[in-house]
């Protein structure tokens, strides 16, 4: 296992970052083993997600004995602050990684080390689109799993002094319940929702149908952006499966799978636009999370071209060019990219770009996030730097800066 040294010194925010409070719009929580059991009512305590031993190894299970995930914390940050490279992190439990992976107090301390003002957070265990809880047959238990997680995230945000901003999981298999949970979480202070990109896989209406209108309306009324994280459905969550070739070893599979999964969000962006969702709901905001931004100009140019070539009769439903809807309704997030950022800003506009680190996942910028950012923004003026690193996210997620 290769380890990068820990940066145990405060970040120097002089020069290009001076006067900018960095907001990281994509990070992850390594769920504590007692997150659900500590908060579950008695009737669900043995059924909610928890760690049990199965076939000689400890795994996460739900509904008594349904495997829902391995014990890995999905964190590459070592207890001493070093960063682990390769695939060895997969076998590490939360007691074998840095406390900032799972503890809100330690996470806030890490924000200070990294020079971050606030951080948006996403789950691991439930799946990036909450698709894993579909393994639970009992609808009431399934909803309880969602609500307990969201209650824990409300607590985490409060403990952090609103510097950690977890996105609310949606019980997307029930549209009415999703509306109610959006409103409940908004009233409790959460700032956005994360949901599944392909509900049709569970025999529900797809997101382009009118059935989802009450959900979109609730998100607009509460000003809760709809976040689509990469891998946000069972068909799109493919690190080691169909994309990498079977002959590859673990590092080859993870490297190729990780690069390919970034572009998976193109599907939901194109589908939403061509379904007319942003046309019918011009105030609705979508975020393509952990997918990068370099591919977006090409994809939007392709959508515009296909609209003119193969969709001449779509103008009644989608009167604007797809690229215009993206600029108005969508956001993309960059982290490791350096070479293409200026071109992306010129093409899609500064208003549609935000910054992320993906802490503490294997592609995260840790421990040199500030250096990477400086390289990416070196040719940008102050107002542009401030917009993509802070202002856009502050406005969208209601962050005080």
The DSSP line for 98-129 is -GGGT-HHHHHHHHHHHTEEEEEEE-STT-TT
CA distance 390 to 362: 24
Quote the pLDDT of residue 351.
Answer: 98
Looking at the 3D structure of the chain, how many domains does it have? 1
pLDDT for position 29: 97
Q: Which two tokens stand for residue 108?
A: 């806030």
Q: Is residue 78 part of a domain?
A: no
Domain presence at residue 85: no
What local confidence, expressed as pLDDT, does residue 13 receive?
A: 41
Give a yes or no: residue 219 inside a domain: yes
Calculate the alpha carbon distances from 157 to 108, 116, 119, 169, 244 in Å.
10, 15, 10, 14, 37
17-21: long-range contacts at Cβ-Cβ below 8 A with a sequence spacing of 24 or more? 17/115, 17/370, 17/373, 17/374, 17/385, 17/389, 19/382, 19/386, 20/385, 20/386, 20/389, 20/390, 21/117, 21/118, 21/390, 21/394, 21/401
The pLDDT, as a whole number, for residue 369 is: 78
Looking at residue 11, its pLDDT comes to 42
| Residue 54 maps to a domain | no
Q: What is the dihedral of CA 259, 113, 6, 34, to 10 degrees?
A: -70
Residue 83 falls within a domain, yes or no? no
Question: Which CATH number do you get for residue 293?
Answer: 3.20.20.140
Interatomic CA distance for residues 396 and 392, integer angstroms: 6
pTM: 0.93
Tokens 């382009």 locate to 208
**165 found inside a domain:** yes
Q: Which of 208, 202, 145 is nearest to 174 (CA)?
A: 202
80 lies in some domain: no
Structure tokens at 188: 């409790």
Distance CA 88, CA 83 (A): 11
Domain that holds residue 223: 2-38+99-397
> Per-10-residue mean pLDDT for the chain, 401 residues long?
44 74 97 98 97 89 93 94 90 94 98 96 96 96 98 98 98 98 98 97 96 98 97 72 80 82 90 97 98 96 95 92 98 93 96 97 88 88 97 98 95
Is position 149 within any domain? yes
């Amino acid at each position: 296992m290769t380890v990068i040294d820990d940066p145990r010194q405060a970040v120097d925010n002089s020069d290009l970052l001076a006067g900018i409070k960095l907001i990281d719009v994509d990070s992850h929580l390594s769920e504590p083993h007692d997150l659900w059991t500590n908060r579950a009512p008695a009737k669900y305590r043995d059924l909610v997600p928890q760690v049990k031993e199965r076939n000689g190894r400890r795994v996460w299970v739900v509904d008594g004995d349904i495997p829902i995930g391995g014990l890995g914390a999905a964190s590459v940050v070592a207890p001493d602050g070093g960063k682990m490279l390769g695939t060895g992190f997969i076998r590490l439990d939360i007691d074998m990684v840095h406390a900032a992976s799972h503890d809100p107090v330690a996470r806030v301390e890490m924000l200070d080390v990294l020079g971050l003002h606030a951080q948006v957070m996403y789950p691991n265990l439930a799946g990036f689109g909450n698709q894993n809880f579909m393994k639970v047959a009992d609808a009431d238990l399934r909803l309880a799993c969602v609500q307990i997680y969201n209650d824990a995230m409300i607590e985490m945000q409060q403990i952090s002094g609103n510097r950690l901003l977890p996105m609310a999981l949606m019980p997307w298999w029930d549209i009415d319940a999703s509306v109610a949970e959006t409103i409940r979480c908004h009233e409790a202070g959460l700032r956005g929702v994360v949901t599944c990109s392909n509900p049709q896989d569970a025999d529900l209406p797809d997101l382009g149908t009118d059935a989802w209108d009450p959900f979109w309306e609730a998100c607009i009324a509460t000003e809760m952006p709809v976040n689509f994280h990469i891998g946000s459905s069972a068909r799109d969550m493919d690190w080691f499966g169909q994309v990498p070739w079977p002959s590859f070893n673990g590092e080859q599979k993870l490297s190729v799978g990780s690069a390919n999964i970034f572009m998976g969000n193109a599907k939901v962006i194109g589908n939403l636009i061509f379904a007319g969702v942003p046309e019918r709901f011009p105030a609705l905001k979508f975020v393509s999370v952990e997918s990068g931004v370099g591919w977006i100009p090409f994809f939007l140019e392709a959508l515009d071209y296909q609209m003119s070539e193969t969709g001449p009769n779509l103008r009644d439903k989608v009167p604007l060019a797809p690229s215009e809807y993206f600029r108005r309704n969508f956001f993309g997030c960059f982290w490791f990219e350096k070479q293409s950022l200026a071109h992306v800003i010129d093409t899609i506009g500064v208003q549609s770009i935000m910054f992320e680190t993906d802490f503490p996942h294997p592609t995260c910028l840790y421990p040199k996030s500030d250096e990477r950012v400086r390289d990416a923004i070196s040719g940008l003026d102050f107002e542009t730097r401030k917009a993509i690193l802070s202002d856009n996210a502050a406005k969208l997620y209601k962050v005080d800066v």
